[in-house]
Amino acid sequence: MKLEDIPNLAFRQLAASLSPDLQPSSPRTFELCLRQDRLPVRISLHPDQQRVIMQAYAYDLSMVLGPLRANLLQTLLLINRAALQGRPFSVGLDNRDFVCLTRIQQLDRAIGDDFLDDLDYLLQQAEQIRVLVTNLTLQGGNMDFNPEPVLE
C-alpha cells in the first residue's frame, strides 16, 4: 500500500509529514519505529474519521507470570490513574500482552507542532515505562508491593 491509497486527505498528509517514504499497513493505519531503542508506534485513523489514535508499545509482558505480573499490572493501573489526571493518555495491555500507551487527538490538530509534541510526550512516557518494567523484571520479582491507599 502507498500513501496515495489513503482516502482521508488529512490522515494522508499526517503520514507524509512523519515519513514521506512511509508504507501504510491499511488505509487507516501506519506504523513507525522511533527513538534510539526503536520504540514501535502505531498511528490509526479513528472510525469517526475525525480523530487520530497514537499507540506506543513499551514492553512485551507475555512471558511475565505470577506475582511479578500481578505487581506490574497494579503498577500500570496506578500509572494509568495518574496519567489520566495530567496530560491524558492511557496505559494497558493489548490482546497480545504488550504494554501499550494510547493517546487520542483531533485529526484537524494532528499536523504540526502540537501533534509532534503529543507524540513526543507519549514516547517519553513509553520509554520510562519500558525502563521501569525492565528494571522490575530484572529483579526477578523480589520486591514488595504495598502501595498506600489513595485518599479521595
Percent of the chain's residues with pLDDT above 90 = 37
Cell of 106: 483531533
Alpha carbons 118 and 14: distance in angstroms, whole number: 14
pLDDT for 89: 86
pLDDT for 86: 66
For 93-120, the pLDDT digits (tens) are 889 999 999 999 999 888 778 888 888 8
For 49-93, the pLDDT digits (tens) are 999 999 999 999 988 888 888 888 888 888 877 766 667 888 888
Return the C-alpha torsion angle 18, 19, 23, 29, nearest 10.
-10
Cell of 53: 489514535
Give this prediction's pTM: 0.80
Q: Is 82 exposed, middle or buried (0-12, 13-18, 19+ CB in 10 A)?
A: exposed
* Averaged pLDDT score across all residues of the chain: 84
Alpha carbons 148 and 150: distance in angstroms, whole number: 6
